[in-house]
Chain A
Amino acid sequence: MNTVFQQVDISHYIYLSTVLFSIGLFGVLFRRNAIVLLMCIELMLNSVNLLLTALSTYMGDAGGQLFVFFIMVVAAAEAAVGLAILVMVYRNTRNTTVNFLSNLKG
């Protein structure tokens, strides 16, 4: 039984997730705003999730999707902690730029 997902060629999923991952990666590398950074990390994680589910369906192996749940849990925890830190940073410095936080530098 072919679902709509299976009718799309696997290569398209791979291209899509590669593009998403690259966007996230370059965002992390070149943006300064910590909120954007967190969002980009989220984007990278989700591109991987997408690839995992796509390949899981393609291979007929549920193990990939199982991984996705774990990743989502970790990502949620990470986002919660990261945003909490950011809130505290913002309260103290009125700023969310990563370069600004260099007080610990020797």
Chain B
Amino acid sequence: MNLYILLALPLLGFTINGLFGKQLPKFVVGALASSLVFIPFVLALSMWSQVKEAAVVSQPFTFLQVGDLNIEFKLMLDRLSLIMTLIITGIGTLIHLYSMAYMADDAGYYKFFAYLNLFIFNMLILVLGANFMMLFFGWEGVGLCSYLLIGFWYHNSDFGYAARKAFVMNRIGDLGLLLGLFMIIQHFGSLDYQVVFSEIAKVSHPQWVYTSIAVLLFVGAMGKSAQIPLYTWLPDAMAGPTPVSALIHAATMVTAGVYLVVRSEVLYALAPMARDLILYVGLATSLLAAFIGLKQNDIKKVLAYSTVSQLGLMFIALGCGAYSAAMFHLATHAFFKALLFLGSGSVIHGMHHEQDIRKMGGLRKAMPLTYVTFLIGTLAISGFPFLSGFFSKDEILLHTFHHSPWVYGLSVFSAGLTGIYMFRMFFLTFHGTYRNDHYAFEKVHESPILMTLPLMVLAALSLAGGLLNLPHYLTHSHSEALAHWLEPLFVFGDAAVHVEPSTEWTLLGVAVSVFVIAFVWMRQKYVVQGRVAENDDQMSGSAKLLAQKFYVDELYDSLFAKPLQALGTWTYRVLDRKGFVAFTDLMGKVTHWKGQTLARIQSGNIELYLIIMVLAAALMLGIELFA
């Protein structure tokens, strides 16, 4: 089958909905958009056995030809991109269905679905591209869609600002990626994955080449996957509609950075310094975001910081060289974080656009389906034994333990924080007493079936996601399916981990006890004691520091935005007003003065004109004769 069909269908949906969506009935728009994402999912699934044999490559076209450099428009469906494609289109379909209900009353309904389809198209280019150029193309495309969808409700200027912030932050990362691509072209003469990676595997270049390319590509990943220092856009990106947060800012786009690193496994295997950088950046991001998440009171902000933190965890895995563990966590995270976001969307929908968890409480009675599915998501992300998050997180922790004890300690701590902020949010939202005076509890309603159905499917996936990559202590014959599936792609392979069974059980015990502590503590605090998160003005000390996100936004503002703004004001006041404008004004004034002066000659007196004419003629004659 032709791989281009996978791309063409979402693009078709974008075209139809974008051009004619306004005239079409809402149901047609939504159903069309959803099915044009679902069909690629089925098609990709049907190619499973084919991909298992060998990567499927499409007919290439010339995309760009400059001198000796020939960049092709070429798609490649291999084991890694198949996993990504299935996640994108599978979860994408569920989120499209969900949006049909969630966005039902929105005036920009057709536009929303057009953008979503465009996003799926670009994301598929990103993962299906067979060279770095295609990846970059999709990379920019998803950035654009992210911008469009964050600022979807652009009448609110704050939302527009959030969209611009996301775009600018991503551009900074993209510059790194672009420089990385230039270096690849310079040293390896191609962008094609196969050519570049086989060249790299020969280890014919000095070490600094590998390290700097690896670091530059990681800078791109930092921007897209919201790692320190470029993570601040992701929490603000929650300005977009909730399905967008679930699809783009939790499940798919933000994992593009992880995909990039996994794809470039050869490169990172040869650049241990870059891997260390990834490890520490991931660790710091994971901890910082988890801390901030502790004191956020916007239901979506908690989830956003949780996403940043979990992405940090994936990068920790990548830094340890555990590529399949990172992919495993990417997949399970896509399941439960999409579930949690959609669940929060359901809550927001039921509460009529209330997002503050301090104004919720006791919703389990009003929204039983949302409650149960959200519970499953919360348990999965906090590492309840035998749910998907438990397995994927433990695998990462195992690798960190093998790497060094203190990295392990900090990772476990970050995982514990996950449990704390998730249960804090969960209990405040669904347990306790209802606390909103402005919106009667009786009006809170369960969402329609179109919204709860995706929740149930995702809940099932969150429950069973561990089956993708079961650890070997549970089953011998079917263990680590994902790792084995990805193994043929890697040249150097996953970092090998050999630990004693007793150590492994101890690590599991630690993970479970961390979960239990978080659960019991939060339950005690918010359910038994019935405490509520404090209001903004009551906060002090560390709580305020956390609630204000460590003032990182303010720091960036005063470090970069303010100086730039000051420079802009200066150039406006001095260079522009006093320089250029004054100069152009002067030109005008001189011309005006000349005109006024010369206008006196034109008095209307014919004799004067004649005299001037004669004198001028005489002058010319004189010059002609005597000069």
A residues whose Cβ falls under 8 Å from a Cβ of B: 25, 28-30, 98-99, 102, 105
Contacts and interface: CB of A to CB of B under 8 A. Distances in A.
A102 B610 contact: no
Nearest to B606: A98
A29 B617 CA distance: 14
A25 B604 contact: no
A29 B607 CA distance: 6
Given A29-B611, A98-B606, 11 more contacts: A25-B614, A28-B610, A29-B607, A29-B610, A29-B614, A30-B607, A98-B607, A99-B605, A99-B606, A102-B604, A105-B604
A29 B604 CA distance: 15
Interface in B596-612: 604-607, 610-611
A102 to B, nearest CB: 6
Contacts of A99: 605-606
A95 to B, nearest CB: 15
Nearest to A28: B610
13 contacts: A25-B614, A28-B610, A29-B607, A29-B610, A29-B611, A29-B614, A30-B607, A98-B606, A98-B607, A99-B605, A99-B606, A102-B604, A105-B604
Nearest to B604: A105
Query: Is chain B's binding surface mostly helix, strand, loop or mixed?
Result: helix
B602 to A, nearest CB: 9
Nearest to A26: B614
A13 B606 CA distance: 31
Contacts of B606: 98-99
Interface string B389-427: 000000000000000000000000000000000000000
A28 B611 CA distance: 9
Interface-centre pick from A29, A30, A99, A105 (highest chain B CB count, 10 A):
A29
Nearest to A32: B607
Query: Which 9 pairs of residues, A with B, have the shortest CB-CB distance?
Result: A105-B604, A29-B610, A102-B604, A29-B611, A98-B606, A29-B607, A28-B610, A25-B614, A29-B614
Contacts of B611: 29
A29 B610 CA distance: 6
Contacts of A105: 604
Interface in B611-625: 611, 614
A12 B498 CA distance: 128
Contacts of A30: 607
B520 to A, nearest CB: 96
Interface in B571-618: 604-607, 610-611, 614
B172 to A, nearest CB: 62
A32 B614 CA distance: 17
Nearest to A25: B614
A29 B609 CA distance: 9
Contacts of A102: 604
B614 to A, nearest CB: 6
Contacts of B610: 28-29
Nearest to A102: B604
